[in-house]
Structure 1
């Protein structure tokens, strides 16, 4: 592999890593916001019925 190919591969891997970290932080934020700030139960943080109720409330 030449130098340019390695550089492109490293940049693509860094972008993929960044996206994975951002998705993880998004879900961590949902959990912290629902459980600690919103005083909800941790078992309901990712329950689809809970989020459907929230979306219905916002509409």
Structure 2
């Protein structure tokens, strides 16, 4: 193994990890939008990013 192949393998591994993290983040964002607007019937999907909504959720939990 040369240093070029090791570098290439490490780079591919890091890119795979980044892709998985981005897919998880996208699934979380899409899931919250669907859960808030479609399942919850609370309004517009973008309203889920309103800080007042999250404060209300945290107040309800704690």
* TM-score calculated relative to the size of structure 2: 0.85
Unaligned runs of 5+ in 2: none
C-alpha RMSD of matched pairs (Å): 1.2
Please list the CA deviations of residues 2-58 of structure 1 after superposition, one character each: whole Å capped at 9, or x if unmatched: 111101100101101110110111111110100011001124211110110111011
Match of 1:54 among 19, 44, 57: 57
* TM-score calculated relative to the size of structure 1: 0.89
Unaligned runs of 5+ in 1: none
Dislocated runs of 4+, deviation >2 Å? none
